[in-house]
Amino acid sequence: MTEIPTEEYILKCTSACAGCGDSLTLRYVLKAAGPDSVLVMPAGCTAAFQGIYPKTAYAVPVVNIAFGAAAACASGISSLFQATGRKTRVIVYAGDGGTLDIGLQAMSGAFERRTDFLYICYDNEAYGNTGMQRSGATPLGARTTTTPVGKTEMKKDIDAIIAAHNPPYQATASASYPQDLFRKVKKALTFHGPTFIHVLSPCPPGWRYSSENTVEVGRLAVKSGMWALWEREYGKLAISAPTKTAMKKPVPLEDYLSLQGRFKGIDEKTVELLKEQIAENFHSLATREEAL
């Protein structure tokens, strides 16, 4: 951890839930980005727990913007900075609802226009700020307030959608692997053009586990294969070390599911479908890495 700076850009006055994976994610994102950064933040958990106006717990400038407009706003800011010669980093920090669903159109437009910015999706796999309704990121079988007996659809593959825009760099990460997250954010900010990092951010109240288990839950997601870590640079895919280990010897998926109340009562057929999806994803990642 010696490579990670000691400076803190999230002050000790947030109203985040205990064990919040989102605030842990943002902590390392800002350590990697540094103080000369602007956060563009749509509606979501991170906008809600930053503090009460006019004060903020974030030690960098923040633009709070409408749910579907983050990427459009970032495009304007990035264009202004380019026109005036400023090197300030522009970072959209949005949840899965504001990325996979409500913000998808604006994000696609910004990537198509080759906006110079970093888009980070912190994924807690539901609309956490409004009571944990299902989103396009909610996994098969997970209980939310709008899927009380478990979601019947697979999670939307936002990474494939982003890859179709052919950005110079995109990656997945997890708040439970801070060095990997820190390194990927630092790397993404070295590219000109649109870059994307998809981060798993466990949520204790929404996923229904005890708050001290956030890091363990995030690691089990990777070790079981429910969340794969990789990066893609100019089309070349590289699988990150924790996922390479999981591909050789994954922990039982049940170890991950059993820690979370949102998967309580999940049936064996659904568990098998999740295992098949993991196997298919591992095969796809291995094939794409070997092809390059």
257 pLDDT tier (thresholds 50, 70, 90): very high
In this prediction, residues 93-102 reach a mean pLDDT of 97
Q: From residue 155, how far is each of 8, 100, 138, 283 by CA, in Å? A: 34, 10, 6, 18
Residue 291 pLDDT exceeds 80: no
The first and second tokens of residue 77, run together, are 């800011």
In the chain, beta strands by DSSP E:
37-42, 62-65, 89-95, 117-123, 169-174, 194-200, 230-233, 236-239
pLDDT computed for residue 292 by the predictor: 65
At CA 164, angle to CA 158 and CA 170, rounded to 5? 65
Cβ pair 120, 93 in contact under 8 A: yes
Backbone conformation region of residue 141, classed left if phi is above 0, alpha if psi is from -120 to 50, else beta: left
Q: What percent of the chain has pLDDT over 70?
A: 99
Residue 104 host element (H or E): helix 104-112
One-letter-per-residue 3-state SS of 37-90: EEEEEECCHHHHCCCCCCCCCECCCEEEECCCCHHHHHHHHHHHHHHHCCCCEE
Cβ pair 14, 23 in contact under 8 A: yes
Cβ pair 222, 199 in contact under 8 A: no
Cβ pair 204, 255 in contact under 8 A: no
35 pLDDT tier (thresholds 50, 70, 90): very high
13 pLDDT tier (thresholds 50, 70, 90): confident
111 pLDDT tier (thresholds 50, 70, 90): very high
Highest CATH level, class, for 21-291: alpha beta
Residue 2 pLDDT exceeds 90: no
pLDDT computed for residue 56 by the predictor: 87
Rg of the chain (C-alpha set): 18
At CA 227, angle to CA 223 and CA 228, rounded to 5? 85
Q: 2: exposed, middle or buried (C-beta count within 10 Å: 0-12, 13-18, 19+)? A: exposed
Q: 234: exposed, middle or buried (C-beta count within 10 Å: 0-12, 13-18, 19+)? A: exposed
pLDDT computed for residue 3 by the predictor: 87
pLDDT computed for residue 133 by the predictor: 98
Q: Which residue has the tokens 């981060």?
A: 199
Q: What percent of the chain has pLDDT over 90?
A: 94
pLDDT computed for residue 1 by the predictor: 63
pLDDT 10s digits, 60-71: 999 999 999 999
Question: Residue 203 and residue 214: Cα distance in Å, rounded?
Answer: 7
The first and second tokens of residue 119, run together, are 């888009």
Q: What's the chain's average pLDDT?
A: 96
54 pLDDT tier (thresholds 50, 70, 90): confident
Question: Residue 149 and residue 142: Cα distance in Å, rounded?
Answer: 8
pLDDT 10s digits, 71-90: 999 999 999 999 999 999 99
- pTM (2 d.p.): 0.97
| Domain residue ranges in the chain | 21-291
Q: Identify the bridge partners of residue 94 per DSSP, sorted by sequence position.
A: 121
Residue 51 pLDDT exceeds 90: no
**Residue bearing the bigger pLDDT, 153 or 55:** 153
261 pLDDT tier (thresholds 50, 70, 90): very high
pLDDT 10s digits, 185-213: 999 999 999 999 999 999 999 999 999 99
Q: From residue 17, how far is each of 45, 76, 214 by CA, in Å? A: 10, 32, 11
Backbone angles phi, psi at 187, to 5 degrees: -70, -45
